[in-house]
Amino acid sequence: MTRTAIYLDCNATTPIEPKVQEEVLKYLSVEFGNSGSRTHDYGARAKQAVERARRQVAAVVRAKTDEVIFTSGATESNNLAILGLASHGEVTQRRHIVSSLIEHKAVLEPLEALSKRGFEVTLVRPNKDGWVQPDLIRDAVREDTLLVSIMQANNETGVVQPIPEIGEILRDHPAYFHVDAAQGFGKEFAAIENERIDFLSISGHKVYGPKGIGALIARRRGFNRPPLSPLFYGGGQERGLRPGTLPVPLIAGLGTAAELAMKQNDERRARCLSFRRTALEMLRPLDPIFNGDPSRSLPHVLNLSLPGVDSEALMVALKGTIAISNGSACTSQSYEPSHVLRAMGLAAEQIKGAVRLSWCHMTDTPDWTEVTKIIKRLL
């Protein structure tokens, strides 16, 4: 019988919660109506499922239900938040954007596209511990700054960024504040409940929901909606910002995943912290170097390097025991040294040896003795 490796790559994608799977299947096979159909009960029930999910997602960040725009995931949400503001920036002559060098490519590449349209982008460098110092954001913001975009938690290191402090810096500034919350939504709550955050991007498959669904939270300022323009057209769904037939099964699944994240947060966190303690205890004799401040990291992530061990060789050696990664899954087809770790100023050898372990409350305990035995052969 072939042994299955223990999955430790939850920052790339998470397993789906059984209750979420049941909800998705229900709206795939039984309640298969189009939420835009207004002439029969199938459509009415589908619409009810969508609106319930909108409430469930909004509750996680204390947003209003009509501020939730369903998308295909955080990548689309990031693009809508960033590129969707371009026309407003051009009309108002506010063409400056502040972000950081450790953002996901789903933020960095839309910013690059805007720079080609005449926008000026300032990318702040993190410190060696993997987080952006708020004072650098304060120094970078100008009178003509249109947008500040900083992620909630880094996908490679797990390091949580100082979102509340940045929000306070922007309190009296008209710039829009966007947070890519793909990694932290449903796991770390307080920071993204902040009403100063105008835009929040989330993905279902990072919070034990289905792939292909996410949302952009676009908070109103008073009675005014953010001046977003759609990226494509046709149908007028989602207040004209995201046209197309709504994927009711995926939306219902995301809503259930959001609700479970709130209800089960304490037990999930306790399980992840327990896993972390065991992992650290077993790995400590190998003298790992941690990339990013572990004390600021999400409880389910470790990014580390082992002196003298190449990450590719390590992943191959551990392939039958644990499934790990050495960077973002979104750029893994053409591997190059992590832009996140390079921005942190780490040594080339340390970056070359870096691997990421990420788990969740459903992760089985690996055979750590076997894991360490394999690693020792490479030292």
Tell me how far apart the alpha carbons of residues 261 and 188 are, in angstroms, rounded to a whole number: 10
Residues 167, 252: one domain?
Answer: yes
For residue 328, the model assigns a pLDDT of 55
Residue 284, in any domain of the structure: yes
**What is the distance between the alpha carbons of residues 359 and 155, in angstroms, rounded to a whole number?**
13
Residue 272 covered by a domain: yes
Of 262, 292, 316, which residue sits at a domain end?
A: 262
Q: Are residues 240 and 335 in the same domain?
A: no
Q: What are the φ/ψ torsions at residue 263 (nearest 5 degrees)?
A: -70, -35
Together in a domain, 269 and 241: no
pLDDT on residue 1: 38
pLDDT at site 334? 55
Whether the predicted model's global pTM rises above the 0.85 cut: yes
Q: Are residues 234 and 140 in the same domain?
A: yes
Domain CATH code at residue 136: 3.40.640.10
Q: Which of 207, 236, 262 is the last residue of a domain?
A: 262
Sign of the torsion formed by the C-alpha atoms of 277, 278, 280 and 285: positive
Residue 305, amino acid: S
Number of domains present in the structure of the chain = 2
Return the sign of the alpha-carbon dihedral for residues 340, 153, 53, 228: negative
CATH of the domain at 280: 3.90.1150.10
Q: Nearest-CA neighbor of 130 among 103, 90, 159?
A: 159
Looking at the annotation, which residues are catalytic? Answer: 330
- Show the tokens assigned to 237: 């769904």
Question: Do 182 and 314 reside in the same domain of the chain?
Answer: no
Residues 277 and 140 in one domain: no
For 14: left if phi > 0, alpha if psi spans -120 to 50, otherwise beta; the answer is beta
What phi and psi values does residue 214 have, to the nearest 5 degrees? Answer: -165, -165
Say whether both 246 and 317 belong to one domain: no
- Are 25 and 136 found together in one domain? yes
Same domain, 269 and 191: no
Mean per-residue pLDDT pooled into runs of 10, the chain (379 residues): 82 98 96 86 92 98 98 98 98 98 98 98 98 98 98 98 98 97 97 97 98 98 95 89 94 98 98 97 96 96 94 94 80 72 95 96 97 93
Note down the domain range covering 296. 6-16+265-378
**Residue 159 and residue 96 in one domain:** yes
Establish if 204 belongs to a structural domain: yes
- Give the pLDDT of residue 106: 98
- Clarify whether residues 147 and 32 are in a common domain: yes
CA angle 347, 352, 358 (to 5 degrees): 110
297 belongs to a structural domain? yes
Residue that terminates a domain, selected from 246, 262, 278: 262
User: Parallel, antiparallel, or unpaired: how do β-strands 214-218 and 68-71 relate?
Assistant: antiparallel
Domain co-membership, 96 together with 154: yes
Q: What is the pLDDT of residue 41?
A: 87
Residue 326's alpha-carbon distances to 124, 157, 354, 373, in angstroms, are 23, 10, 6, 20
Q: Is residue 1 part of a domain?
A: no
Match 């926008």 to its residue by tokens: 119
Tokens representing 167?
């929000």
